[in-house]
Amino acid sequence: MTKNTKIVSVVGIVAALAVISLVVVRDLWLRHPDTFDCGDGPRRTIDLRDFTTQYSAYSVELAVTVSEKAKLSAKLTPVQLQQVSDSLQSANEFRKSLVAGYNGCAITKAQYADGVKRFQAMDGLAREINQVLGKALLSQDETAQLADLIGHYNRLTVGGNNP
């Protein structure tokens, strides 16, 4: 290896490390901006990806389960399947509006906390629905339980009733 080749290699490595460092710093800075105040105390911007990761593990799993309609054909009626699909879409819109409302000072911290509780209740129902749907065969009681869970999930996502 010649001296020029070594110098070019070192400069290339340093340049690559500098670019990687800038990307990492930029991402950290963009994801954690300064605090702001909406009249009810300091807030930090909430990233929708962080909210999704923190609060909606089972909702995402239920969405995947519902998308596999053939798997559910014997367990859900077409009406139930449509209700779950609509509810998942409503839950997704609720999540987006909750985060946007908080970040845009359209809702108070207390309203945000209530919204998080509601979303966690939806996620808990999604977990229960997943557990029932995970069974190979459903008894008559389990079929009735599934209908109740779907109804409650639908009411919670669409109507905003308390859990």
Q: CA–CA separation, 2 vs 121, rounded Å?
A: 66
pTM: 0.67
Q: What is the pLDDT of residues 43-64, one digit of tens each?
A: 888 888 888 777 766 665 666 6
Give the pLDDT confidence score for residue 159 in this predicted structure.
64
**What is the average pLDDT score of the chain?**
80
49 & 113 share domain: yes
Domain carrying residue 155? 35-159
Give the pLDDT confidence score for residue 162 in this predicted structure.
47
27 & 40 share domain: no
92 & 151 share domain: yes
% of the chain at pLDDT higher than 90: 16
Q: Angle at the Cα of 85 (from 83 to 88), degrees rounded to 5?
A: 105
More confident residue, 17 or 23: 17
Give the pLDDT confidence score for residue 163 in this predicted structure.
46
